[in-house]
Amino acid sequence: MEELLARGLRALGLSDGGAGPLARYGALLLEKNKVMNLTAITDPADVAALHFLDSAALLTLEDFLGKSVVDVGTGAGFPGLPLRILEPSVHLTLLDALGKRVSFLQEVCAALELSDVDCVHARAEEFAAGHRERFDLAVSRAVAALPVLCELSLPLVRVGGAFLAMKSVESDEELRSARHAVELLGAEVSDVRDYAIPGTEVTHRLITLKKVRPTPVKYPRAFAKIKKAPL
């Protein structure tokens, strides 16, 4: 896996110095995945491309240098942890509602000596109460449809920061349906960019929502309300 990662990182124009730690993380992921549900992707080459290089591609699309970043619904650590491994100046918070996944992330951080990464077991809409507008950037992949995801993520982002939503290239309609939520929550769509994952035929999309005003205090609502009546 290490060679594939090194090649992919070079293709993205990134330093291949992170390939070793990413490969160790990949080995831990595949080992733990035998006893708990962390990922449906089990072929090491696919893990390299669809988890690590997909996450790494964000570094080519946004400046993460020295930024505080929260990964909302990080699961087994994507995209946040590869970003932190490849850009050590990132101050990372990994957030997930499932305790077992957060325990796995703590194990990975200990094994890779990433002592400054915060692994938090919480629902995003509850975490916002104590961490409102605290982060330069929020990132998220494969958690919810954009109108819901905006309500979970945008309250965490400071004005002047951004929420980066990783989506499929077929997300035009999803983006259209989120326009009202984006506006209501104090953001605007500042960029929509498709990117290729090296070594594959796969193209994904990064939607950048810039926070331009504070989010009204009534958001986020309780999850039952968010789900029942998305903005």
Q: Which residues contact ligand SAM (rule: CB under 6 A)?
A: 73-76, 78, 95-98, 101, 123-125, 141-143, 152, 223
Contact 71, 119 (CB under 8 A): no
- Please name the helix (run of DSSP H) or strand (run of DSSP E) that holds residue 139, with its range, or none: strand 135-141
137-173 core/surface letters (b: 16 or more CB in 10 A; e: else):
bbbbbebbebbbbbbbbbbbbeeebbbbbbbeeebee
Residue 105 CB, shortest distance to ligand SAM, in Å, is 10
Of 75 and 186, the one with the shorter C-beta distance to ligand SAM is 75
Of 124 and 146, the one with the shorter C-beta distance to ligand SAM is 124
Residue 101 CB, shortest distance to ligand SAM, in Å, is 5
Residue 40 CB, shortest distance to ligand SAM, in Å, is 9
- Give CA–CA dist 59/129, Å, rounded: 29
Task: Find the residue with minimal CB distance to ligand SAM.
Answer: 75
Of 10 and 77, the one with the shorter C-beta distance to ligand SAM is 77
Of 200 and 212, the one with the shorter C-beta distance to ligand SAM is 200
- Who's near 107: CB < 8 A, 6+ residues apart? 28, 32
Of 16 and 125, the one with the shorter C-beta distance to ligand SAM is 125
Contact 177, 146 (CB under 8 A): yes
Residue 131 CB, shortest distance to ligand SAM, in Å, is 12
Residue 96 CB, shortest distance to ligand SAM, in Å, is 5
- Give CA–CA dist 196/198, Å, rounded: 6
